[in-house]
Chains A and B, each alone.
Chain A
Amino acid sequence: MYVAVKGGETAIAHSLDLVADKRRGDRDVPELSLDQIDQQLGLAVDRVMTEGSCYDRTLAALAIKQARGDLIEAIFLLRAYRTTLPRFGASEPLDTTRMVAERRISSTFKDVPGGQVLGPTYDYTHRLLDFSLAAAGERAEAPIAPADATHALPRVGDILQRDGLLEPPPSRNHGEARDLTRDPLVLPASRPLRLQNLARGDEGFLLALGYSTQRGYGNNHPFVGEIRYGHVPVSFVPEELGFAIEIGEIDVTECDMVNQFAGSHDVPPQFTRGYGLAFGHAERKAMAMALVDRALRAEELGEAVTSPAQDEEFVLAHSDNVEASGFVQHLKLPHYVDFQSELVVVRALRAEVEKRLEQAALAQAAE
């Protein structure tokens, strides 16, 4: 006699225990500390903070540890925590000209005011496995030039803009920025909302889309106007004070992409912008975001919308890896009721076809 599958409760409890056990791994190997993750897997922490929309290195490190290094799972964990936090308000817009930059490059000019600052980058490393890292042993500290925090670092874009060669950034009068994590995304979306979506968007998805624009699917002839990475102060206006106070500093990577010019008979041509911003040091993400931001402006700039990266509904609806991961993986849930319905109808349809074939064969034999 068949016995219905029971015991979901116990099975789940055991599964949770197993996950915890796997997470710890071999007990002879020392356990990871959150500080180690923060300090030595810093770029993973940066990504989790960016796509998790929560700037907290310790929480991100905890999420990475809990997720056993699965960054999308870590992003999910961090977001599910973030969503329960009370909201005090929105900070003032970051002023990235006040950035104390560790790295700052432009590929549109050989030199720019403030200088090209190479900073820490993998760009010029040879991708040879460094076996000295496999052995324990301390490294000497690298010499670091004192950063000049006294001078504002002008943006390359602002310099171009002064001559009218580059479109100005959108005005600040968009009113209160809507919060994607509080209000549903309604399409068509405004650019601030699109940028929010892209900032939270999956790095791999944006990278592929950005790449596709370079390969002709919505090309917009990009130049890196500027990439900068460093610390920026965050200001907030508490209601009871009525004026802005600095509440801390965060690390961000900003990318200002300069793109093909638009213009017509009457409107003088101008370069256009794509913008990317990410928490921590995340140049690939910021650049991909800037490419996709520019691609999504196709309609606004009077360009034909022909490619996936230019298609607002397509990009915004599919950029979020927590949504995507959940929905793809929900296929693991039981679907046997729907499948049963399909079985019933497929059997019926097959029977009808077989009957028809049989009758045809009989008729043929009778002839």
Chain B
Amino acid sequence: MSAPLLSARDVGKRFGGRIACRDVSFDLWPGEVLGIVGESGSGKTTLLNCLAGRLVPDSGSVTYETRSAGSVDVHRLSEARRRLLARTEWGFVNQDAREGLRMGVSAGANIGERLMAVGARHYGEIRGQAADWMARVEIDIERLDDRPTSYSGGMRQRLQIARNLVSRPRLVFMDEPTGGLDVSVQARILDLLRGLVEGLHLSVVLVTHDLGVARLLTHRLMVMQGGSVVEQGLTDQVLDDPQHPYTQMLVSSILPV
């Protein structure tokens, strides 16, 4: 392997007097799924937003290895290039699908938006690709022209995933992608995500408070507490043999699967 896809170095962010995260460093390699776990308020979502260029960190840097333009400092890019990167090489899956979808237009338009944003102008082809992605995320193609307002929570999340993946991103940020869904729905979406990540050789940074989700999807884990990373390592290692007292507490507080 040549270079890490995403590198964080000493990333820190404060809100007023409160430290949201500090001194976070890691490398994410192509095809790797990194989990960030911790309780709510531990700074994991702030960190995710800093990594994805949605928040500007107060300290440290985030570099990304682009497809064709070498490595770039995410926060030093012009807004134009950062937004272009975000809709071509990256994806972002929100916990609340409503934030990641256009609720007022059809599923097909939702999936097709990224294609149109980079210049696709053939309606039939855009629609064909949208239908193809509906199938890949296991939504009935009959629902292609329906708006996501008529979709169930699980279907919306699938649609959000399709909308992100249609542009063939290399890196996807996910913020609690199965949060707020029924357990049975969660299981199917996790299954789907696992298949897609492997099949498309995606790199993923996944934020979750659910260690079960982390165990199922991630290769490597970072455990955050009070804005700091207290432990990191291979997922199985961290979960089966936690070293830090906080990780031990987290692991012992969930029922064995």
Residues on the B chain within 8 Å of A265, using CB: 17-18
Q: Total A-B pairs in contact (CB under 8 Å)?
A: 10
Q: What 7 new A-B contacts, CB under 8 Å, besides A264-B17, A265-B17, A267-B17? A: A264-B16, A264-B18, A265-B18, A266-B16, A266-B17, A267-B16, A302-B16
Q: List 10 A-B contacts (CB under 8 A).
A: A264-B16, A264-B17, A264-B18, A265-B17, A265-B18, A266-B16, A266-B17, A267-B16, A267-B17, A302-B16
Q: How many Å lie between the Cα of A265 and that of B14 in the bound state?
A: 14
Residues of chain B in range 1-38 having any CB-CB distance to chain A below 8 Å: 16-18
CB distance from B13 to the nearest CB of A (A): 15
Which residues in A have their C-beta under 8 angstroms from that of B16?
264, 266-267, 302
**Interface size in chain A (residues, C-beta < 8 A):** 5
The residues of A that contact B17 with a CB separation of less than 8 Å are 264-267
Closest to A265 in B: B17
* 9 shortest interchain CB distances as A-B pairs: A266-B17, A265-B17, A264-B16, A264-B17, A302-B16, A267-B17, A265-B18, A266-B16, A267-B16
CA distance A302 to B16 in the complex (A): 9
- Which DSSP category, helix, strand, loop or mixed, fits chain A's interface? loop
Q: How far apart are B138's CB and chain A's nearest CB, in angstroms? A: 30
A261-307 contacts to B (CB < 8 Å): 264-267, 302
Cα-based distance from A50 to B227 in the complex (angstroms): 52
Contacting residues, chain B, for A266 (C-beta < 8 A): 16-17
Docked pose: A267 CA to B16 CA in angstroms: 9
Docked CA distance A203–B16 (Å): 36
B15 closest partner in A (C-beta): A302
Chain B positions within 8 Å of A264 at CB level: 16-18
A336 CB → nearest B CB, Å: 29
Return A22 CB to nearest CB of chain B, in Å.
Answer: 46
Given the complex of chains A and B, what is the CA–CA distance between A266 and B14 in angstroms?
A: 13
Q: Tell me the minimal C-beta distance from B19 to chain A in angstroms.
A: 11
A327 to B8, CA, bound (A): 52
CA distance A172 to B16 in the complex (A): 25
Binary A-proximity of B96-116 (CB < 8 A = 1, otherwise 0): 000000000000000000000
CB distance from A36 to the nearest CB of B (A): 54
Q: Which of B183-219 contact A (CB under 8 A)?
A: none
Give Cα A53 to B80, complex, Å: 41
- Bound-complex Cα distance A286 to B18 (A): 37
CB distance from B12 to the nearest CB of A (A): 18
What's the Cα separation between A267 and B18 when bound, in Å?
12
Interface string of A254-265 (1 = CB under 8 A from B): 000000000011
Separation of A302 and B17 alpha carbons in the complex (Å): 12
B34: shortest Cβ distance to chain A, in Å?
30
Which residues of chain A are near B18, meaning CB under 8 Å? 264-265
A265 and B19 CA atoms in complex are apart in Å by 12
A303 to chain B, nearest CB (A): 13
Assembled-state Cα–Cα distance A267/B17 (Å): 9
Q: In angstroms, how far is the closest chain B Cβ from the Cβ of A301?
A: 11
In the complex, A169→B18 CA distance in Å?
26
Cα distance A79–B17 when bound, in Å?
47
A255 to B39, CA, bound (A): 46
What CA separation (Å) do A264 and B16 show in the bound complex? 9
> Smallest CB-CB separation from B16: which chain A residue?
A264
Chain A residue with minimal CB distance to B17? A266
Distance in Å from the Cβ of B78 to the closest Cβ of chain A? 21
In the bound complex, CA of A38 to CA of B18 (Å): 57
Q: Chain B's nearest CB lies how many Å from the CB of A299?
A: 14
